[in-house]
A and B are shown apart, each in its own frame.
Chain A
Amino acid sequence: SQQGEEDPQALSIQEGENATMNCSYKTSINNLQWYRQNSGRGLVHLILIRSNEREKHSGRLRVTLDTSKKSSSLLITASRAADTASYFCATDRGSNYKLTFGKGTLLTVNP
Chain B
Amino acid sequence: GAVVSQHPSRVICKSGTSVKIECRSLDFQATTMFWYRQFPKKSLMLMATSNEGSKATYEQGVEKDKFLINHASLTLSTLTVTSAHPEDSSFYICSARARGGANTEAFFGQGTRLTVV
Q: How large is the interface on A (under 10, 10 to 19, 20 to 34, 35 or more residues)?
A: 20 to 34
Q: How many A-B residue pairs have CB under 8 A?
A: 63
Inter-chain contacts of A44 with B (CB < 8 A): 108
Inter-chain contacts of A100 with B (CB < 8 A): 46
Is B113 located at the chain interface by the 8 A CB criterion? yes
Inter-chain contacts of B103 with A (CB < 8 A): 30-31, 48, 50, 92
Segment among B13-21, B36-44, B69-77, B80-88 that sits at the interface with chain A: B36-44
* Interface residues in B, total, Cβ within 8 A: 28
Inter-chain contacts of A94 with B (CB < 8 A): 102
Nearest residue (CB) in B for A48 is B105
In the bound complex, how far is the Cα of B91 from the Cα of A48, in angstroms? 25
In the bound complex, how far is the Cα of B107 from the Cα of A43, in angstroms? 8
Q: Contact residues of A with B, CB < 8 Å? A: 2, 30-31, 33, 35, 40-45, 48, 50, 88, 90, 92, 94-104, 106
Q: Contact residues of B with A, CB < 8 Å? A: 4, 6, 32, 34, 36, 41-46, 49, 91, 93, 95, 97, 101-111, 113
